Amino acid sequence: MGVEYKGSRYRGWQRQRDNVLSVQQTLEEALSKVADSPVVLHCAGRTDSGVHACGQVVHFDTLAARSPKAWTMGANINLPHDISATWAKSMPAHFHARYKAVARRYRYVIYNDQIRPAHLGDQVTWNHRPLDVERMAEAAARLVGTHDFSAFRAGQCQAKSPIKTLHHLRVSRHGKMIVLDVRASAFLHHMVRNIAGVLMTIGAGERPVEWAGEVLASLDRRAGGVTAHPFGLYLVEVEYPAEFELPARFIGPHFLTGFESLAADDPAVIC
Protein backbone atom coordinates (compact mmCIF):
# COMPACT_ATOMS: atom_id res chain seq x y z
CA MET A 1 0.00 0.00 0.00
CA GLY A 2 1.13 3.52 -0.79
CA VAL A 3 0.69 6.04 2.03
CA GLU A 4 1.13 9.77 2.48
CA TYR A 5 0.88 11.72 5.72
CA LYS A 6 1.51 15.01 7.41
CA GLY A 7 3.72 14.11 10.34
CA SER A 8 3.13 17.19 12.49
CA ARG A 9 0.76 15.54 15.00
CA TYR A 10 2.61 12.26 15.26
CA ARG A 11 5.59 10.99 17.26
CA GLY A 12 7.00 9.56 14.06
CA TRP A 13 6.03 6.49 12.06
CA GLN A 14 6.74 3.76 14.61
CA ARG A 15 4.22 2.53 17.17
CA GLN A 16 5.38 3.62 20.65
CA ARG A 17 5.36 1.64 23.88
CA ASP A 18 3.80 4.52 25.83
CA ASN A 19 0.92 4.59 23.34
CA VAL A 20 1.60 8.13 22.10
CA LEU A 21 0.18 8.99 18.70
CA SER A 22 2.07 7.37 15.80
CA VAL A 23 1.36 6.97 12.10
CA GLN A 24 1.80 3.20 12.27
CA GLN A 25 -0.75 2.70 15.05
CA THR A 26 -3.28 5.01 13.39
CA LEU A 27 -2.98 3.25 10.05
CA GLU A 28 -3.02 -0.24 11.58
CA GLU A 29 -6.25 0.56 13.42
CA ALA A 30 -7.90 1.81 10.24
CA LEU A 31 -6.82 -1.22 8.18
CA SER A 32 -7.85 -3.63 10.94
CA LYS A 33 -11.39 -2.31 10.60
CA VAL A 34 -11.30 -2.94 6.85
CA ALA A 35 -9.88 -6.45 7.32
CA ASP A 36 -12.10 -7.17 10.33
CA SER A 37 -8.97 -8.66 11.93
CA PRO A 38 -5.69 -7.30 13.35
CA VAL A 39 -3.25 -5.84 10.80
CA VAL A 40 0.46 -5.35 11.49
CA LEU A 41 2.36 -3.05 9.12
CA HIS A 42 5.94 -3.03 7.86
CA CYS A 43 7.16 0.19 6.25
CA ALA A 44 9.89 1.15 3.79
CA GLY A 45 11.34 3.84 6.04
CA ARG A 46 10.59 4.84 9.65
CA THR A 47 10.18 8.61 9.66
CA ASP A 48 10.85 10.71 12.78
CA SER A 49 8.50 12.89 14.77
CA GLY A 50 7.26 15.80 12.63
CA VAL A 51 8.56 14.32 9.35
CA HIS A 52 6.13 13.89 6.44
CA ALA A 53 5.73 11.38 3.62
CA CYS A 54 4.12 11.40 0.21
CA GLY A 55 5.73 8.20 -1.05
CA GLN A 56 5.78 5.83 1.93
CA VAL A 57 5.27 2.14 1.09
CA VAL A 58 3.95 -0.41 3.59
CA HIS A 59 3.01 -4.07 3.45
CA PHE A 60 0.91 -6.38 5.61
CA ASP A 61 -0.18 -10.02 5.56
CA THR A 62 -3.88 -10.81 5.77
CA LEU A 63 -6.41 -13.53 4.96
CA ALA A 64 -9.09 -10.89 4.28
CA ALA A 65 -10.16 -10.78 0.63
CA ARG A 66 -10.70 -7.18 -0.50
CA SER A 67 -10.22 -5.44 -3.83
CA PRO A 68 -7.43 -2.83 -4.12
CA LYS A 69 -10.08 -0.11 -4.27
CA ALA A 70 -11.79 -1.47 -1.16
CA TRP A 71 -8.51 -1.48 0.78
CA THR A 72 -7.70 2.08 -0.29
CA MET A 73 -11.14 3.62 0.15
CA GLY A 74 -11.88 1.62 3.30
CA ALA A 75 -8.65 2.79 4.89
CA ASN A 76 -9.31 6.42 4.00
CA ILE A 77 -12.82 6.34 5.45
CA ASN A 78 -11.31 5.30 8.79
CA LEU A 79 -8.23 7.55 8.72
CA PRO A 80 -7.87 11.12 10.02
CA HIS A 81 -7.45 13.98 7.57
CA ASP A 82 -3.63 13.97 7.73
CA ILE A 83 -3.06 10.36 6.58
CA SER A 84 -4.13 8.96 3.20
CA ALA A 85 -3.81 5.60 1.50
CA THR A 86 -2.97 6.29 -2.16
CA TRP A 87 -3.01 2.79 -3.70
CA ALA A 88 -3.12 -0.89 -2.77
CA LYS A 89 -1.94 -4.00 -4.56
CA SER A 90 -1.61 -7.72 -3.80
CA MET A 91 2.04 -8.74 -3.82
CA PRO A 92 3.98 -12.02 -4.03
CA ALA A 93 5.01 -13.57 -0.72
CA HIS A 94 8.68 -12.61 -1.11
CA PHE A 95 7.95 -8.87 -1.26
CA HIS A 96 8.99 -6.79 1.76
CA ALA A 97 8.44 -3.03 1.94
CA ARG A 98 11.76 -2.42 3.69
CA TYR A 99 14.15 -5.14 2.59
CA LYS A 100 13.23 -5.20 -1.10
CA ALA A 101 13.62 -1.43 -1.54
CA VAL A 102 16.63 -0.50 -3.70
CA ALA A 103 16.58 3.28 -3.20
CA ARG A 104 14.83 5.96 -1.18
CA ARG A 105 14.35 9.61 -1.99
CA TYR A 106 13.70 12.58 0.29
CA ARG A 107 13.02 16.25 -0.27
CA TYR A 108 13.81 18.92 2.28
CA VAL A 109 11.87 22.16 1.73
CA ILE A 110 13.17 25.48 3.08
CA TYR A 111 11.12 28.69 3.10
CA ASN A 112 13.75 31.42 2.72
CA ASP A 113 12.47 34.86 3.69
CA GLN A 114 12.95 37.37 6.50
CA ILE A 115 9.30 36.98 7.55
CA ARG A 116 8.10 33.65 8.88
CA PRO A 117 5.29 32.11 6.82
CA ALA A 118 1.77 32.07 8.21
CA HIS A 119 0.94 29.15 5.92
CA LEU A 120 2.69 25.77 5.69
CA GLY A 121 4.41 26.62 8.98
CA ASP A 122 4.82 22.98 10.06
CA GLN A 123 5.38 21.70 6.51
CA VAL A 124 8.47 23.75 5.59
CA THR A 125 11.57 24.83 7.48
CA TRP A 126 11.79 28.60 7.77
CA ASN A 127 15.23 30.19 7.45
CA HIS A 128 15.34 33.97 7.70
CA ARG A 129 18.95 34.33 6.49
CA PRO A 130 19.46 34.95 2.75
CA LEU A 131 20.74 31.62 1.41
CA ASP A 132 23.04 31.34 -1.62
CA VAL A 133 21.76 28.34 -3.59
CA GLU A 134 24.86 28.16 -5.80
CA ARG A 135 27.11 27.80 -2.76
CA MET A 136 24.78 25.16 -1.32
CA ALA A 137 24.79 23.20 -4.60
CA GLU A 138 28.58 23.35 -4.82
CA ALA A 139 28.89 22.07 -1.27
CA ALA A 140 26.28 19.36 -1.90
CA ALA A 141 28.32 17.98 -4.81
CA ARG A 142 31.10 17.10 -2.33
CA LEU A 143 28.79 14.67 -0.55
CA VAL A 144 27.59 12.69 -3.59
CA GLY A 145 28.98 9.18 -3.93
CA THR A 146 29.88 6.39 -1.51
CA HIS A 147 31.24 7.66 1.80
CA ASP A 148 31.37 7.03 5.52
CA PHE A 149 28.62 9.41 6.73
CA SER A 150 29.39 9.08 10.45
CA ALA A 151 29.55 12.89 10.74
CA PHE A 152 25.91 13.08 9.57
CA ARG A 153 24.65 10.24 11.75
CA ALA A 154 22.58 10.65 14.92
CA GLY A 155 23.99 9.16 18.09
CA GLN A 156 21.02 6.77 18.46
CA CYS A 157 21.31 5.47 14.88
CA GLN A 158 20.99 1.67 14.74
CA ALA A 159 22.31 1.14 11.19
CA LYS A 160 24.97 -1.57 10.96
CA SER A 161 27.26 0.54 8.77
CA PRO A 162 27.72 4.31 8.29
CA ILE A 163 28.84 3.77 4.68
CA LYS A 164 26.09 4.88 2.30
CA THR A 165 25.85 5.89 -1.35
CA LEU A 166 24.23 9.20 -2.31
CA HIS A 167 23.09 8.91 -5.92
CA HIS A 168 22.19 12.58 -6.15
CA LEU A 169 21.88 15.65 -3.93
CA ARG A 170 20.30 18.55 -5.85
CA VAL A 171 19.66 22.07 -4.59
CA SER A 172 17.21 24.35 -6.41
CA ARG A 173 15.32 27.57 -5.70
CA HIS A 174 11.67 28.16 -6.60
CA GLY A 175 10.65 31.64 -5.50
CA LYS A 176 10.86 31.67 -1.71
CA MET A 177 11.31 27.89 -1.59
CA ILE A 178 14.66 26.09 -1.66
CA VAL A 179 14.44 22.34 -2.23
CA LEU A 180 17.09 19.76 -1.36
CA ASP A 181 16.39 16.58 -3.34
CA VAL A 182 18.42 13.58 -2.21
CA ARG A 183 18.37 9.95 -3.35
CA ALA A 184 20.33 7.08 -1.82
CA SER A 185 20.25 3.34 -1.38
CA ALA A 186 19.57 3.92 2.33
CA PHE A 187 19.94 6.65 4.94
CA LEU A 188 21.26 6.94 8.47
CA HIS A 189 19.16 8.36 11.29
CA HIS A 190 18.90 12.18 10.91
CA MET A 191 21.24 12.02 7.90
CA VAL A 192 19.18 14.28 5.63
CA ARG A 193 18.46 16.79 8.40
CA ASN A 194 22.15 16.94 9.31
CA ILE A 195 23.08 17.48 5.66
CA ALA A 196 20.45 20.23 5.43
CA GLY A 197 21.91 21.93 8.51
CA VAL A 198 25.40 21.98 6.99
CA LEU A 199 24.18 23.25 3.60
CA MET A 200 22.11 26.05 5.15
CA THR A 201 25.10 27.16 7.22
CA ILE A 202 27.20 27.31 4.06
CA GLY A 203 24.40 29.01 2.11
CA ALA A 204 24.23 31.72 4.77
CA GLY A 205 27.93 32.42 4.31
CA GLU A 206 28.83 31.32 7.82
CA ARG A 207 31.16 28.59 6.57
CA PRO A 208 33.10 28.08 3.30
CA VAL A 209 31.94 25.64 0.65
CA GLU A 210 34.85 23.35 1.54
CA TRP A 211 33.40 22.85 5.02
CA ALA A 212 30.95 20.20 3.73
CA GLY A 213 33.86 17.97 2.71
CA GLU A 214 35.71 18.70 5.94
CA VAL A 215 32.71 17.63 8.02
CA LEU A 216 32.38 14.45 5.96
CA ALA A 217 36.06 13.61 6.37
CA SER A 218 36.00 14.22 10.13
CA LEU A 219 33.70 11.23 10.79
CA ASP A 220 32.61 13.22 13.87
CA ARG A 221 28.98 14.24 14.36
CA ARG A 222 30.11 17.15 16.56
CA ALA A 223 31.84 18.73 13.55
CA GLY A 224 28.59 19.18 11.62
CA GLY A 225 26.66 21.72 13.65
CA VAL A 226 22.96 21.75 14.44
CA THR A 227 20.47 19.20 13.13
CA ALA A 228 17.89 20.96 10.94
CA HIS A 229 14.22 20.97 11.95
CA PRO A 230 12.03 18.03 10.82
CA PHE A 231 9.19 20.21 9.44
CA GLY A 232 10.50 20.47 5.87
CA LEU A 233 11.46 16.81 5.41
CA TYR A 234 9.44 14.50 3.15
CA LEU A 235 9.92 10.87 2.16
CA VAL A 236 8.86 11.26 -1.47
CA GLU A 237 9.71 7.98 -3.19
CA VAL A 238 10.79 4.40 -2.53
CA GLU A 239 12.11 2.37 -5.45
CA TYR A 240 11.80 -1.40 -5.96
CA PRO A 241 12.85 -3.90 -8.64
CA ALA A 242 10.70 -3.71 -11.78
CA GLU A 243 9.31 -7.21 -11.17
CA PHE A 244 6.98 -5.84 -8.48
CA GLU A 245 5.32 -3.30 -10.82
CA LEU A 246 4.29 -0.87 -8.11
CA PRO A 247 2.03 2.03 -9.12
CA ALA A 248 3.81 5.30 -9.97
CA ARG A 249 2.72 8.66 -8.56
CA PHE A 250 4.07 12.19 -8.78
CA ILE A 251 7.08 13.12 -6.68
CA GLY A 252 5.72 15.39 -3.93
CA PRO A 253 5.05 17.22 -1.76
CA HIS A 254 1.83 18.46 -3.35
CA PHE A 255 2.61 22.16 -3.16
CA LEU A 256 5.77 21.62 -5.27
CA THR A 257 4.13 19.88 -8.21
CA GLY A 258 3.52 23.18 -10.03
CA PHE A 259 7.22 24.05 -10.17
CA GLU A 260 8.12 23.03 -13.72
CA SER A 261 11.80 23.84 -13.26
CA LEU A 262 11.92 21.22 -10.49
CA ALA A 263 10.69 18.65 -12.99
CA ALA A 264 12.95 19.70 -15.86
CA ASP A 265 15.56 17.01 -15.24
CA ASP A 266 13.16 14.60 -13.53
CA PRO A 267 10.72 12.78 -15.85
CA ALA A 268 9.06 11.12 -12.87
CA VAL A 269 7.53 14.40 -11.72
CA ILE A 270 4.09 15.17 -13.12
CA CYS A 271 3.14 18.85 -13.23
Q: Where are the domains of the chain?
A: 2-100, 103-234
Report, as an integer, the average pLDDT of 244-253.
91
Q: How confident is the model at residue 41 (pLDDT cuts 50, 70, 90)?
A: very high
Q: Which amino acid is at 260?
A: E
Average pLDDT of span 98-108: 97
Which is more confident, 135 or 263?
A: 135
Q: What is the pLDDT of residue 271?
A: 25
Q: Please, what is the average pLDDT of the chain?
A: 92
What CATH class is the domain 2-100?
Answer: alpha beta
Q: Under DSSP, is residue 57 helix (H, G, I), strand (E, B) or coil? A: strand
CA–CA separation, 235 vs 226, rounded Å? Answer: 21
Specify whether 18 is catalytic: no
Ranking 159-163, 178-182, 243-247 by mean pLDDT, the lowest is 159-163
Residue 22 to residue 18: CA distance in whole angstroms: 11
Catalytic residue among 48, 82, 113, 148: 48
Report pLDDT digits (tens) over 134-154.
Answer: 999 999 999 999 999 999 998
Q: Which residue has the higher pLDDT, 255 or 201?
A: 201
pLDDT-derived band at 33, boundaries 50, 70, 90: very high
Read off the DSSP letter of residue 120.
S
Residue 32 has pLDDT above 90, yes or no: yes
Confidence check: pLDDT of 269 > 70: no
Architecture of the domain whose range is 103-234: 2-Layer Sandwich (3.30)
Q: What is the pLDDT, as a whole number, of residue 259?
A: 62
Query: Given a cut of 50, is residue 222 above it in pLDDT?
Result: yes
103-234: same fold as 2-100? yes
What pTM, to 2 d.p., does this model score?
Answer: 0.92
How many Cβ atoms from other residues are within 10 Å of residue 195's Cβ?
A: 29
Residues in the chain: 271
Compute and round to an integer the Cα radius of gyration of the chain.
19
* Percentage with pLDDT > 90 across the chain: 84
